[in-house]
Amino acid sequence: MSAVDSRLAGYDAVVYDLDGTLVELAVDWDAVAEAVLDVYAERALIPPTEELWGLLGAADDYGIREAVEEAIALHERAGARESTRLPLGDRLAAGGPEGAVGSPPSAGVCSLNCEEACRIAVETHGIADAIAGDAVVGRDTVGSHKPDPASLLAAIDRLGAAPEDALFVGDSRRDAVAAERGGVDFAWAADLLAE
């Protein structure tokens, strides 16, 4: 058993971030921000920021959430199809079906990307068999997104685990904050790869 496998074995469930952790989406995030700014401009609205996630966060206040979500998701879905599987994705794909004897703990995904892009990416890269199908949670799945812990806690709940018995693996400060706020242990993807 590798150091990574023994570390994960201490948990009932492991939830992974998607982009930057399991796969690298082929998305030009600057182009996505421009597309969202276009949504604001088409409605003659002055955007509160030029930062993508700030634009998404303000979309409800402007009554344009659906249009902003679709502008982002359009890029994410295409980027998921053209994504590259990363080393942790390789390990997960090689780990066998979720729940099999000797396999790692039940696994899920919690991502800032839309749920459909997450599902496309895990299917495209052969990771779907290692992920519990109902434990793929995107920003649009539960009505909030990281660093709010609700999406992470939803993924853990769907895996039948308690927050204190789960591990969240991610690559960003947003991931670490979501885990801390949810009372979930956190591991940096790069640290797991170094073990």
Distances (CA, A) of 18 to 1, 40, 110, 113, 163: 24, 28, 7, 8, 19
Q: What's the rounded mean pLDDT across residues 97-110?
A: 66
Ranges of H-type helices in 43-130: 52-62, 65-81, 87-94, 115-124
Note if the pTM is more than 0.95.
no
CA 103 distance to own-chain centroid = 22
Domains of the chain listed by start with CATH number? 3-24+84-194 (3.40.50.1000), 29-81 (no CATH)
Tell me, what's the pLDDT at 4?
Answer: 62
DSSP 8-state assignment for residue 111: -
**Residue type (1 letter), 36:** V
Angle between helices 65-81 and 115-124 (to 10 degrees): 10
pLDDT tens-digit readout, 51-82: 999 999 999 999 999 999 999 999 999 999 99
